[in-house]
């Protein structure tokens, strides 16, 4: 995967010209824009293009206390060949699991092109000492994770200790080495779009390769407006520094129709350059089968029973 240039301490935002306007989002207008983008009518080839892309961008996810190597390997198989009856269906981007299950995922995914992503840094709360977080990150990378999904310390963020949040991301980024770092903001706990924007800029400044909405552990996970808010922050960083940061909405994306809406929003906000799994991921556990079902419907004109798609 292409990577953003690694700088010693992330990269410096040229703060001077930005300073007056880091933090404002008008919630009403943001939601109106997200709403109008969601009304695009995507049909036929355009829809197939989106559905196929959605599969290539999916981070197939299982983050349960009950996860076992067996479950993870079943999902890994699904990620490689989402629809065994149709060889034209591409693989997912990655499989996202808890640290202990990284070896199981690696065993099944080595050489397939599907990445192994592991959550880390005391997921989902992030409320642990920094040395524990760094250590956990080093471990998952050593076990073979290609990507690390860390959580920010929302307690620190909400109490205004931005420097702590920043420093932790910098340290985790260092611990990642060559692995890709996705920074989860857990937007449902941040409370306002202003905070989401601030946290996005902070994460990008600290070296995040991706910013990600949610852990999936709370009810208010990814939404179209919050994702748009983060895409706009990514766009501003790109405009000012040339650096291309990725985006990962996660949680609550269950239907193919939603996936298409997310991709329309991406395309019309950041442009065609971002229409790649290198820069956009959809974190989802149940989305995949609906996408497969819609693809088959587009191709054959008929819906098929869910029993024709594997439950893994």
In the complex with other proteins, the residue whose CB is nearer, 21 or 302, is 21
Query: In the complex with other proteins, which residue's Cβ is closer, 167 or 278?
Result: 278
What is the Cα–Cα distance from 121 to 185, expressed in whole angstroms?
13
**Is 169:206 a contact under the CB 8 Å cutoff?**
yes
Element of type H or E holding 60:
strand 58-61
Nearest to 236, CA basis, from 5, 7, 14:
14
Smallest gap from Cβ 199 to other proteins, in A, equals: 16
Q: Using CA atoms in the order 268, 301, 285, 91, what is the torsion angle rounded to 10 degrees?
A: -80
Can 149 be counted among the known catalytic residues?
Answer: yes
CB atoms within 10 A of CB 233: 24
> Does 3 qualify as catalytic in the annotation?
no
**Using CA atoms, how far apart are residues 53 and 89, in angstroms rounded to an integer?**
10
> What CA–CA distances, in Å, run from 187 to 146, 197, 253?
24, 10, 15
Q: Closer to other proteins at the Cβ: 8 or 272?
A: 272
Catalytic residue among 115, 133, 173, 248: 248
Least distance between other proteins and beta carbon 35 (Å): 10
Residues near other proteins, by CB under 8 A:
1-2, 20-21, 24-26, 28-30, 32-33, 39-47, 49-50, 232, 239, 263, 267-268, 272-273, 275-276, 278
Q: Closest distance between other proteins and the C-beta of residue 29, in Å? A: 4
Closest CA to 242 of 22, 14, 24: 14
Selected catalytic residue, list 115, 173, 182, 212: 212
Adjacent-strand bridge partners of 282: 58
> For residue 174, how many other CB atoms are within 10 A of its CB?
17
Nearer to other proteins, 16 or 307 (CB): 16
Residue 32 or 142: which CB sits closer to other proteins?
32
Least distance in Å: CB of 175 to other proteins? Answer: 22
| Joined tokens for residue 213 | 């909405």
The catalytically annotated residue of 149, 153, 236, 290 is 149
CA 80 centroid distance within chain: 18
Q: 173 catalytic, yes or no?
A: no
Nearest approach in angstroms of CB 116 to other proteins is: 18
Query: Could you give the residue numbers annotated as active site?
Result: 149, 212, 248
């Amino acid at each position: 995967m292409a990577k953003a240039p690694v700088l010693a301490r992330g990269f410096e935002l040229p703060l001077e010209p930005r300073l007056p306007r880091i933090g404002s989002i008008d919630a009403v207008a943001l939601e109106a824009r997200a709403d109008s983008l969601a009304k695009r009518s995507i049909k036929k080839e355009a829809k197939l293009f989106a559905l196929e892309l959605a599969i290539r961008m999916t981070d197939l996810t299982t983050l349960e206390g009950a996860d076992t190597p067996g479950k993870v390997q079943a999902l890994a198989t699904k990620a490689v060949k989402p629809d065994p009856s149709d060889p034209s269906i591409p693989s997912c981007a990655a499989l996202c699991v808890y640290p202990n299950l990284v070896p199981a995922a690696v065993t099944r995914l080595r050489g397939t092109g599907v990445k192994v992503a592991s959550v880390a840094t005391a997921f989902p709360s992030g409320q642990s000492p920094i040395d524990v977080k760094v250590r956990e990150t080093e471990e998952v990378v050593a076990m073979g994770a290609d990507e690390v999904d860390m959580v920010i310390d929302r307690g620190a963020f909400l109490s205004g200790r931005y420097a702590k949040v920043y420093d932790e991301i910098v340290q985790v980024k260092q611990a990642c080495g060559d692995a890709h770092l996705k920074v989860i903001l857990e937007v449902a706990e941040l409370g306002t779009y202003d905070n989401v924007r601030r946290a996005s800029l902070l994460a990008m400044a600290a070296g995040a390769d991706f910013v990600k909405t949610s852990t999936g552990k709370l009810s208010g996970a990814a939404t179209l407006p919050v994702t748009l808010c983060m895409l706009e922050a990514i766009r501003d960083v790109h405009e000012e520094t040339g650096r291309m940061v990725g985006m990962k909405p996660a949680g609550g994306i269950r239907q193919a129709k939603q996936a298409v809406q997310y991709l329309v929003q991406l395309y019309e906000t950041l442009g065609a350059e971002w229409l790649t799994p290198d820069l956009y991921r959809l974190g989802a556990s149940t989305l995949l089968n609906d996408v497969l079902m819609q693809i088959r419907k587009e191709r054959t004109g008929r819906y098929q029973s869910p029993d024709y798609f594997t439950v893994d």
